[in-house]
Structure 1
Amino acid sequence: MTPPLVVDIDGTLTGPDRGLDPRTMPILKEWDAPVVVATGKAFPYPVGLCEFLAIPIRVIAENGGVVYVAETETVVFTGEPEAAQAVAEEFQAAGYDLGWGRADMVNRWRETEIAVNLDAPLEPLEALAADHGLEVVDTGFAYHVKSPAQNKGKGLKAVARELGRDPEEFVAVGDSENDVSTFEVAGRAIAVANADDRALAAADEVTEGEYGEGFLEAVDLIEGGLEG
């Protein structure tokens, strides 16, 4: 029986240019079990991905800060957005920049955390986050200032509960530090070859291929287990 799938976007379904690998689209669309998109991106991004793939909207966004499950029309928010916004304001008041330009399309629709460009200095950001009881997670694409209680693994537990599933039924595929909590909750964890050290260490298996190519290989591993 095909297991439910929880999959990251950036670095997993994409190429190194962050563009979605088109070969991943039919796989997600035709997967014969629930597919959950789990990302550090703001809430509208995974929702839009599901919409354009014409698959049910099951998403874990903002590193677990927002969860939505189409079957029960349930939206779950976690995190401390006021504290995260305070960190951003204090960081800027200290003379630093979030790094996304005037429009800040990265944070414009973000509801539970703040993302900061990797070119920004990490040490003062971490110090301000700690002052507000928050943490900074490096996803490889941005620094995310968020509540320690907010992670993709807890998001997966919430999704599984809404679907009447056990989280251990899921296979997780990802590439980053923020996927570690998902790997720990899912029954099987596969990291693509470009994953960071923490994700590689937490995974049960690692593909030879990177990015979208690695996801295709992960699908072969999953399907190979079904045939066995």
Structure 2
Amino acid sequence: MVPPLAADIDGTLTRPDKSIDPRVFDPIRKWEAPVVIATGKSFPYPVGLCEFFGIPLNVIAENGGAVYVESVDEVLYNGDPEGSRAVERAYLDAGYELGWGAVDPVNRWRETELAVARDQPLEPLVEIADEHGMVVVDTGYAYHVKAPDVDKASGLETAAAALGYDPEAFVAVGDSENDAELFELVGRSFAVENADETAKRTADGVTEGAFADGFLQALDRVRESDT
């Protein structure tokens, strides 16, 4: 039997232009074990993606800050919303911007952390986060301000318990340093070729293909080892 799967979105299920690669739809729909979408994006994004995939809504959002498993029907929070709001206020008061425009769709529905565009000053953000007991993680797509004890691994522990699995039963595929703790937790992990060095160093294997090509190769390797 194939193992349950934890899959990142950006850089993993996508093409280089950040759009979802349509080739991942059928393999995810046909995966014979539970699939958990684990992302740094805010809660609505993985929920919507699961809807379009046509799979149960099993999601880890905001780098583990918000977890939802459809069969349990309860959003479980691991993050520190007060800490992230304090960092946001201090960063803005210091004269900096989040970098997403007035509407800010990146943070508009974010509940437990803060995302800052990577073209904004990092050093003061790190200093302010540290003053409020928070940390900054660079996912390659944004700077995420989050509680230090919250990550995709803690999110998967929550989701796995709700699904009735041991986290070590999972295979995970991702591309960024925010996947590293997840890679260390699961039984088997793959970094796609475009992954950063932290992800590659932590993963059990690195695919030859980048982005969705690498994700599909990882699934093939899992199936081959299962036969």
TM bracket (short chain): over 0.9
Q: Report the residue type matching 2:75 in the other structure.
A: V
Per-residue CA deviations over 1:52-84 (Å, capped at 9, x if unaligned) read 111100000000000001112132101111111
1:46 corresponds to: 46
**Following TM superposition, by how much is the alpha carbon of 1:192 offset from its aligned partner in structure 2, in angstroms?**
0.2
Residue 171 of structure 1 is matched in structure 2 by 171
Q: Which runs of 5+ in 1 are unaligned?
A: none
The alpha-carbon deviation at position 95 of structure 1 amounts to 1.1
Q: Which residue of 1 aligns with 2:76?
A: 76
Q: CA RMSD in A?
A: 0.7
In the other structure, the counterpart of 2:147 is 147
Instruction: Give aligned pairs, total.
Output: 227
Equivalent residue, structure 2, for 1:224: 224
Once residues 72 and 79 of structure 1 are traced to their aligned partners in structure 2, the CA distance between those partners, rounded to angstroms, is: 19
Whole-angstrom CA distance in 2 between matches of 1:159 and 1:78: 11
Distance 2:148 2:76 in 1: 16
Return the TM-score normalized by structure 2: 0.99
What is the identity, as a one-letter code, of the residue corresponding to 1:97? E
| Structure-1-length-normalised TM-score | 0.98
Runs of 4+ in 1 over 3 A off after TM superposition: none
- Cα deviation, 1:6-48, whole Å, max 9, x if unaligned, reads 0000000001111000000111111100000000000000000
Between the aligned partners of 2:214 and 2:204, the Cα distance in structure 1 is: 14
Partners in 2 of 1:52 and 1:193 — Cα distance? 26
The answer to whether the aligner puts 1:90 opposite 2:79 as a matched pair is: no
Q: Partners in 2 of 1:75 and 1:97 — Cα distance?
A: 30
Partners of 1:23 and 1:219 in 2: CA distance? 12
Q: Which amino acid aligns with 1:162?
A: A
Identity %: 58
Q: Which residue of 1 aligns with 2:61?
A: 61
CA distance in 2, matches of 1:33, 1:103: 38
Q: Does 1:196 align with 2:208?
A: no
Do the aligned residues in 1 keep the contact of 2:78 with 2:155 (CA within 8 Å)? Answer: no
